């Protein structure tokens, strides 16, 4: 244990001198001349010890107060701290995302199934930061990176493909991924992850553009996982932009497989922990408890157990 204001401990000499004086070490004890001084009296050692103990209680309370004022501290052992992962969800909201999607729900679409899976994924990433970018021909950053992952679920009713502007029709995956790339690069700390969901071909990934973009992402430490919810084989452009970054490309043909894809991504990108620094914290509680007990004893002694010269 250490003390924040160690110099205060020098004042402990005051209660020490008070205790010595109370026990008779400095002034020779209390000597009061009474007519009974020459009378015979029996020895009462137990009562004498109790009286002396009661007499030094005020000095002991003062000593405890000085210890509290000195600021007792302890060093907590280092704790494991979760390393932040910045996750940018890049979601296709083109008109085709309103197509029916097998999920056991009559009204399920590719979009609703995707949002359900994204919400479940976010619930497993407590401690990470997630953002939502929607795209078609243009890109809209709907939700900035936040650790309040409930915001992902709350966004679902507002970015339904049936409600977005016509400018978000079409599919330009590279355009959206480049935007998400810049968002992640601007984050000062944490890992960088893009989860892309789309259901269509993207002409701006053809002709080697996807591989070139993947190399830029890899250079900046951005990992991309691309999920095709359009049925059939995933377009080659998705593999070009995802696999070189250390991520992967997946096909999801129904709600169960889509949920499984996110479970797989969560396993491939587990939460990492690092050793935190030791922390010095105030630890006055034991002294406060001891002081209150001693003060209570002193108050009880004042009702009868105190020195009187007669």
Supply the pLDDT for residue 277: 65
* pLDDT band with cut points at 50, 70 and 90 for residue 217: very high
For the four alpha carbons of 217, 223, 228 and 234, in that order, the dihedral sign comes to positive
Per-residue pLDDT, averaged over 258-267, amounts to 86
Q: Are 87 and 33 in contact (CB under 8 A)?
A: no
Supply the pLDDT for residue 27: 47
Q: Please, where are the H alpha helices in 160-284?
A: 173-185, 209-219, 236-242, 255-268
Residues 81-274: name the CATH superfamily.
von Willebrand factor, type A domain (3.40.50.410)
Supply the pLDDT for residue 8: 87
More confident residue, 132 or 265: 132
* pLDDT band with cut points at 50, 70 and 90 for residue 193: very high
* pLDDT band with cut points at 50, 70 and 90 for residue 198: very high
For residue 276, is pLDDT > 60?
no
Supply the pLDDT for residue 235: 87
* pLDDT band with cut points at 50, 70 and 90 for residue 232: confident
For residue 228, is pLDDT > 60?
yes
User: Residues 151-184, buried b or exposed e (16+ Cβ, 10 A)?
Assistant: bbeebbeebebeebeeebebbbbbbbbebbbebb
The C-alpha atoms of residue 300 and residue 50 are separated, in whole angstroms, by 12
Neighbours of 275 (CB within 10 A): 9
Residue-wise pLDDT tens digits, 48-80: 778 778 888 888 999 999 999 988 888 877 665
For residue 283, is pLDDT > 50?
yes
Per-residue pLDDT, averaged over 240-254, amounts to 90
Residue-wise pLDDT tens digits, 22-52: 777 544 555 555 566 566 666 777 777 787 7
For residue 272, is pLDDT > 50?
yes
The C-alpha atoms of residue 254 and residue 252 are separated, in whole angstroms, by 6
Supply the pLDDT for residue 63: 92
According to the per-residue pLDDT averaged within each range, which of 2-6, 61-65, 299-303 is highest?
61-65
Segment among 87-96, 176-185, 198-207, 267-276 with least mean pLDDT: 267-276
Segment among 46-50, 86-90, 125-129, 277-281 with least mean pLDDT: 277-281
Per-residue pLDDT, averaged over 117-135, amounts to 89
Supply the pLDDT for residue 243: 92
Parallel/antiparallel/unpaired status of strands 129-135 and 85-92: parallel
Residue-wise pLDDT tens digits, 160-174: 888 888 878 888 999
The overall average pLDDT reported for the chain is 83
Supply the pLDDT for residue 310: 46
């Amino acid at each position: 244990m250490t003390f924040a204001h160690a110099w205060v401990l020098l004042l402990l000499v005051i209660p020490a001198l008070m205790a010595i004086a109370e026990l008779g070490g400095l002034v020779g004890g209390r000597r009061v001349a009474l007519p009974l001084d020459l009378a015979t009296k029996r020895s009462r050692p137990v009562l004498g010890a109790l009286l002396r103990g009661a007499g030094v209680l005020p000095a002991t309370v003062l000593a405890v107060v000085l210890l509290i004022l000195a600021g007792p501290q302890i060093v907590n052992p280092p704790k494991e701290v979760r390393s932040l992962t910045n996750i940018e969800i890049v979601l296709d909201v083109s008109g085709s995302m309103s197509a029916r999607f097998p999920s056991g729900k009559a009204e399920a679409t590719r979009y609703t199934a995707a949002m359900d899976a994204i919400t479940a994924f976010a619930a497993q990433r407590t401690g990470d930061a997630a953002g939502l970018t929607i795209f078609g021909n243009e890109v809209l950053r709907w939700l900035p990176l936040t650790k309040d992952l409930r915001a992902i679920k709350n966004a679902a009713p507002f970015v339904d493909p049936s409600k977005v502007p016509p400018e978000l029709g079409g599919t330009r995956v590279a355009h959206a991924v480049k935007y998400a790339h810049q968002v992640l690069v601007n984050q000062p700390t944490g890992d960088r992850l893009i989860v892309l969901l789309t259901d269509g071909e993207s002409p701006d990934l053809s002709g080697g553009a996807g591989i070139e973009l993947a190399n830029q992402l890899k250079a900046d430490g951005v990992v991309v996982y691309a999920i095709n919810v359009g049925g059939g084989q995933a377009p080659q452009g998705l593999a070009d932009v995802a696999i070189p970054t250390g991520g992967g490309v997946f096909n999801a043909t129904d709600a169960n497989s889509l949920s499984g894809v996110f479970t797989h991504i969560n396993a491939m990108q587990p939460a990492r922990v690092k050793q935190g620094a030791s922390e010095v914290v105030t630890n006055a509680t034991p002294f406060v408890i001891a002081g209150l007990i001693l003060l209570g004893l002193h108050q009880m002694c004042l009702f009868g157990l105190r020195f009187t010269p007669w």
